[in-house]
């Protein structure tokens, strides 16, 4: 636990949220769109999670949360075992639901759903892919979940294991970005995004809450290659 700060606004401003994308799943490996379909970690994903847990061994967290999908839960388990902290499961942290597109590769989606696919190529944030959920809907869902969760831990550091699509959507919310722009930054498997959701942005005549301390930090994966081959330094 972090030392309590003097007043509630100051404590909230100091709250750190470490967003962690799950390790590589079998769906990632096989090049299919997963959405909320429940794919487990691949062998390489397990190696990534081991590296992540080793890196964060001495970092202290007040709480650990995870999406309820297997690839996230199993990633969180590596951290839970290392820290001795129980994982709290929250279904609101799931990836964007992509309906009938779930489990399909891009080429098949383009063939079976040509009109929707074209809208997706234009990155329409209101498109409900496969009859599922739009990026705008998912952004609202995950932003509410993360805000409510972070408010439970004023002045503390917490870790949240979730998914690349909703991580991008949340970061866009903090930055007030058009959702069409979120594909300009990467979210590697097991990468870390450190945010302070209640800290004021620096400068400007209209203060806005939310600072990003790091984005797509995956230093623990340096030298790690699929198949377990690690080149000599």
Q: Where are the domains of the chain?
A: 8-221
Active-site residue identified among 16, 22, 47, 116: 22
Q: What percent of the chain has pLDDT over 70?
A: 92
pTM to 2 decimal places: 0.91
22 catalytic? Reply is yes
Active-site residue identified among 95, 116, 133, 156: 95
pLDDT digits 0-9 by tens, 153-204: 999 999 999 999 999 999 999 999 999 999 998 999 999 999 999 998 876 6
Confidence of residue 226 (pLDDT cuts 50, 70, 90): confident
Task: Indicate if the pLDDT at residue 231 is higher than 50.
Answer: no
β-bridge partners, 159:
18, 64
Confidence of residue 7 (pLDDT cuts 50, 70, 90): confident
8 catalytic? Reply is no
Contacts of 108 (CB under 8 A, 6+ apart): none
Task: Indicate if the pLDDT at residue 209 is higher than 90.
Answer: no
E strands, the chain, are: 16-21, 63-66, 87-89, 157-162, 192-200, 209-217
Looking at the domain 8-221, which fold is it? Answer: Rossmann fold (3.40.50)
Confidence of residue 232 (pLDDT cuts 50, 70, 90): very low
Task: Indicate if the pLDDT at residue 206 is higher than 90.
Answer: no
Confidence of residue 208 (pLDDT cuts 50, 70, 90): confident
Contacts of 67 (CB under 8 A, 6+ apart): 22, 73, 89, 90, 91, 93, 94, 95, 161, 162, 163
Q: How many residues appear in the chain?
A: 233
pLDDT digits 0-9 by tens, 53-82: 999 999 999 999 999 999 999 999 999 999
pLDDT digits 0-9 by tens, 102-122: 999 999 999 999 999 999 999
């Amino acid at each position: 636990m972090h030392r309590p700060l003097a007043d509630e606004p100051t404590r909230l401003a100091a709250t750190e949220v470490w967003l962690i994308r799950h390790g590589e799943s079998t769906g990632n490996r096989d090049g299919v769109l997963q959405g909320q379909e429940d794919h487990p970690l691949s062998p390489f994903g397990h190696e990534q999670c081991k590296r992540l847990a080793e890196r964060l061994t001495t970092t202290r967290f007040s709480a650990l949360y995870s999406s309820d999908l297997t690839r996230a839960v199993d990633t969180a388990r590596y951290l839970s075992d290392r820290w001795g902290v129980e994982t709290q499961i929250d279904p609101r942290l799931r990836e964007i639901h992509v309906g009938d597109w779930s489990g399909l590769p891009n080429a098949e989606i383009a063939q079976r759903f040509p009109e929707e696919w074209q809208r997706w190529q234009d990155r329409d944030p209101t498109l409900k892919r496969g009859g599922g959920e739009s990026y705008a809907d998912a952004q609202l869902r995950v932003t509410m979940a993360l805000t409510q969760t972070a408010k439970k831990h004023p002045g503390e550091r917490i870790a949240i294991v979730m998914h690349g699509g909703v991580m991008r959507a949340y970061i866009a919310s903090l930055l007030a970005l058009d959702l069409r722009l979120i594909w300009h930054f990467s979210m590697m498997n097991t990468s870390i995004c450190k945010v302070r959701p209640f800290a004021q942005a620096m400068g400007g005549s209209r203060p806005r809450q939310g600072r990003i301390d790091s984005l797509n930090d995956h230093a623990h994966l340096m030298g790690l290659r699929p198949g377990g081959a690690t080149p000599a330094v």
